[in-house]
Structure 1
């Protein structure tokens, strides 16, 4: 792409990020895709709408309350407390949010910049991860099924990850570092993998089953058996409680996430009962949870036949081993529905990536026409059943992004609290 084309695309991004994105997807240059992917996410972050009660609003409120005019000394004192998992302050609970909150609210004096910084970081690792999955096959002709899975990938905890900032940014960092290391064996990617812990400390927990899956990635039958058995296994929290470090941060999170008493069970059941009574659209009810708890396991069962095939390559085996290893772990840690649910989503990313890799390399499995037809039908059913998840993600995006993400995003910067979402803008127009 020529410099004039880049300049035009930059102007187009600031005029209409959506039109800029459409034009960007025509590019086959990795560097261009990464640069403008970062820019797109950064602009989207600048157009984030702070809905009452959302994670994004709580992060902004915390940045204003705790980080405005924070001294360098206090910043580094709290940095050390977070690094040792002994933070007792009312600020961030992870180093990543601590740093971007300080930069936004104290250094630049604009707390809303937390979502611009979050967008830039997320955009970088998301763009790098997607290109790594597509493995230099941007110019390869793709059938409709493959395109369908790529669309699912592009919507899977991507732009919507800016709301929570930490967890799903950490997922893309974790994925990029893991797959890059497995592909190249370069140690620098282990540092990127560990960077996910800096973004959200819960990746310390995710790292445990991942290491086990990596060690057994070539023992496909062992992992397959463990995966199938995990649906009937349950780990008791009391059996591992003594092995967990006793720090103030870990203990506070344990109280919030672990269900280990009758009171916790009653509280969880009450919360679920309230949620079930809320009038929701079908894609909210059957979107994300149905996708990760039903569709991903169903897809995994199909992929297991290829996982245990002699034609499977190391890349596919790694993605599958990671996916089923993490999913197996999520099945046995039912004492923490929050951890279990989040790990399922991370596992889902590896399974989707494995499916895309399989479709790129399907010819080497030497399947008969009958089996190819059967596989295609199963994958089409999966994609059709994924429509509620796609609608859920799109619905989520139009609620958290300013109407001016569609055109003239700088208007959103000056409106402040008077800004409104795409959904609100559409309702006003029609």
Structure 2
């Protein structure tokens, strides 16, 4: 890629008239840097992994403070694991989408924790990593501008769960006004809201066709039921309104608005599904921070008997999703991503997945 091609590509991307071989600014700049400047295109994924790992690890460091001093009940611990597995290190394989997620998560955590405006600039970066974040970043800026409004955001969330706010026809017309928008609309799968109950019923009455049951239930969307039950529990028990700190409330609010966006963008399933995952990550991290801050003396403001029931029920509904994400975590990332990633560069033949590593080390013992 020549300098002229690089500059021309940047202009096309920024004006939303990118060519067929041009992607988002993040990949375009990184590709030019490793190939045109360094002359080492093989380092592309090294830089991608570094960026992803920095923001992913940085976000978890903030969320998991105080873990050592807290003993969590089983269902709560499983919920924490579920939220942490929503989008973990395996997300680096997509390069753009989930890198944008963790950049946004880290920026929001740092800004609402420190109030430093440089993190607002970082919050604006995800759309340059993946154009889809131009829509999905909106909830973060709503909370930035208007602050935390627990009652309003909760009402919007529950309303979006039973009805739709956004006119699909008008939004599609807006997308079609630019080449990039029209391309996204054509490429993203579009469908109508499915009946989760009917999908689950078919899975148990007609079989799964050889597909693992947790994959069928995950595809049916049972995890959305689980998250709805979880949010209802957190809201009804007063945790969101009365118990969370201002910092935790804002992170939870971003998640609620992202889920509201997901429900409202049902007619563009790629945006809906990705914003749901992003919202669940924000909600999960806010809950984890709140629960760890509670220590071993849990204090629930309202409906104390409802809280453990709701947490338990949501976790039961989350089980298929937890199994699916755990399977993905074990089957796809290299075990060396957990430490010493350079080992594979030195000797590619030793590369193995986490599941293969567990088999290698545990089978001789068993």
TM-score, length of structure 2 as denominator length:
0.79
Question: How far 1:207 moved relative to its partner?
Answer: 2.5
Quote the residue 2:308 is aligned against: 376
Q: Which runs of 5+ in 1 are unaligned?
A: 1-69, 266-271
For residues 418 and 137 of structure 1, what CA distance do their matches in structure 2 show?
Answer: 36
Quote the residue 1:212 is aligned against: 142
2:7 to 72, 76, 84: 76
Once structures 1 and 2 are overlaid, which stretch shifts more, 224-233 or 119-128? 224-233
Q: Does the residue aligned with 1:163 lie in a helix, a strand or coil?
A: helix
Asked if residue 156 in structure 1 is aligned to residue 68 in structure 2, the reply is: no
- Shift in CA distance, 421/175, structure 1 to aligned 2, threshold 3 Å: closer
2:114 to 184, 188, 198: 184
Q: Residues 290-312 of structure 1, C-alpha deviation per residue, up to 9 Å, x if partnerless? A: 46412111101111122564444
Q: Which runs of 5+ in 2 are unaligned?
A: 193-198, 200-206
- Shift in CA distance, 304/113, structure 1 to aligned 2, threshold 3 Å: same
Quote the residue 1:141 is aligned against: 70
Quote the residue 2:228 is aligned against: 297
1:322–1:350 Cα contact (<8 Å) kept:
yes
Q: Does the residue aligned with 1:286 lie in a helix, a strand or coil?
A: helix
Quote the residue 1:98 is aligned against: 28
For residues 86 and 191 of structure 1, what CA distance do their matches in structure 2 show?
Answer: 24
For residues 174 and 292 of structure 1, what CA distance do their matches in structure 2 show?
Answer: 23
For residues 321 and 418 of structure 1, what CA distance do their matches in structure 2 show?
Answer: 44
Q: Does the residue aligned with 1:252 lie in a helix, a strand or coil?
A: helix
CA RMSD of superposed structures (Å): 3.5
Quote the residue 1:86 is aligned against: 17
2:157–2:257 Cα contact (<8 Å) kept:
yes
Asked if residue 174 in structure 1 is aligned to residue 104 in structure 2, the reply is: yes
TM-score, length of structure 1 as denominator length:
0.69
Matches within 5 A, 1:276-291: 279-287=210-218, 290=221
For residues 284 and 188 of structure 2, what CA distance do their matches in structure 1 show?
Answer: 27
Once structures 1 and 2 are overlaid, which stretch shifts more, 112-121 or 405-414? 405-414
- Shift in CA distance, 349/410, structure 1 to aligned 2, threshold 3 Å: closer
2:252–2:282 Cα contact (<8 Å) kept:
yes
2:332 to 386, 394, 400: 400
Question: How far 1:343 moved relative to its partner?
Answer: 0.7
1:325 to 248, 257, 269: 257
- Shift in CA distance, 74/289, structure 1 to aligned 2, threshold 3 Å: farther
